[in-house]
Chains A and B, each alone.
Chain A
């Protein structure tokens, strides 16, 4: 089997008495886009920091391209977003981008990166004058600036309006075609739109690892509603097909039959026990 890009093997981490991660095991493989989904305080940031070599694992083994994430050479194959938009105020967008590009052997062309993230018009602007959404776009652009094989995005669209969020998803999706991406988010919609695989993290534990459909089925069943002889009926069933067959077979009158898959939101709540 091909070596994974990133692997966590029983990684645990505590801050004093507080356990941030409990024996976390997962992998990011080639050309996967993996979402690390969870409510605030789930341990997403800790997991990300360990993956980036910013923090040491308390126990367990982490490897990035088969080596320690603390190795400088390995980091040439990795691009990441700054966590908050704390850029040096006086530097221009193009200067920051260029500075980051200089760290990589074959960076993405400057003009292309600016264009892709809608920064062309902002190239000469000082970072200190960017709006929240603009600096978020710059942050994500920096993660891709080196054209690296593995990109880690920390809440890439937090603070963006719906329109720019969708546009950014499209860019990330197309850039994800020939590289692996790991991103954290607390938006279910974002995980659904981007990820080929979703990891659900809650209170430091991995609750789920699979694709979107599997996450939905994991919660199982269908929500089913109709208006019967005695008024509206709503229920959840594991086998909607059998229920409908029986309903029709019974010959009672009904109308407005509706069968709905549970939303990802519901799936998530079911998994985390409603802690979001």
Chain B
């Protein structure tokens, strides 16, 4: 009982990118802010690790192009060392027969190439620019929703009603050629949306893959168009998608966010797990660490997944049976795995033989709509896809800092692969038994598109949903904390009544991917939650 005790204004639990963003804003507003994380480095899932000597990999996330530009400016991330690179090629999608589709930052150049690509042809090529504009128009409407705290829809106030009207107007943002308003497009199946734009099955698949990536949804499922639009909201992804890498990997971005938070005055304590949120009546008082140390604070910001937040960190008598039951039904079972390969050379994709620069963006194994469908179907039955959807990057093509040649031995390149379906809830076997089988599957599939790949593999790291749960603290192993879908979206993410960052205890907030506007490295939940914390503190001031 002699444990230490210290006092802050705010404790942020979790030093992932959202926690750091939130802390940077709160400390910047003059609040004494402490960030605690049980891992030994900052960043959470925006992580760079060194699994083999001299070889650093983007452990989970590999692109960072969704980060909100406004936030990057306000937190002066450039001066804290962030260097972002985006290659001209956004995505390269090979077919097993050696043909491929390449989408570039330059829309006109892309359309030109598509016109003479026999997988696509002039008709779709002529529509490409229009479709790109449509998607961006839809995304602009959504970005407006993403930039603000959702309205209180349970009992709307006048301010909310006005906001709602603005929201409604945003929802009417027209999509151009398809003339589909956001309200019409969000609930659509991504397959239907891309069919409105294009006839080429291969091109449809390249676009539609982003409607299901990191979700348990298939391309025919309603709401997947919304996932695609979300991917474009607030950034420059467009139809081709973003392929922004941080020099030094996503962990370098996290390090810059940590530097921004520290320079604003925040303190970051690693290797410290929170055991309990302390409260007095219905207000938070701080947290207790596993070490027994008590930290007093009038504000506790959590960036953990919502189930853990509601069911583990709230005492059952605070949550009550109704809320506990609702929280237990939050869908947050992951379906995505990550496989990182250390390679002795650059894999040779015959489809990119003419121009290896095609490999600098995202490399997408999604050769057809049926392929996407089947890859997603496996998740419905708790199976690992034999032919998974793969989004890979070779960050070493753009970032020489990842390999320390003196220590890396034969390793020259890293291939980072996001893989699905690889469901957390397996019907047969356990992830411990099946981990390496997944690595084999991914190597085998890439081999089909890049013969000789297997021979280049020096080492391999398989991160299953089990590790995403265990190492990154996301119960259910979902990279977005809570499943993506219209039922866990906007003002009702993670739960209706808790969509405005405030948790059931006064002074307790949720600022992670389980809060609006959701997962992905945007920083938006952390930023918006900070805004609400400050608003509440201002209102409480006598």
Is B a genuine binding partner of A?
no
Contact residues of A with B, CB < 8 Å?
none
Contact residues of B with A, CB < 8 Å?
none
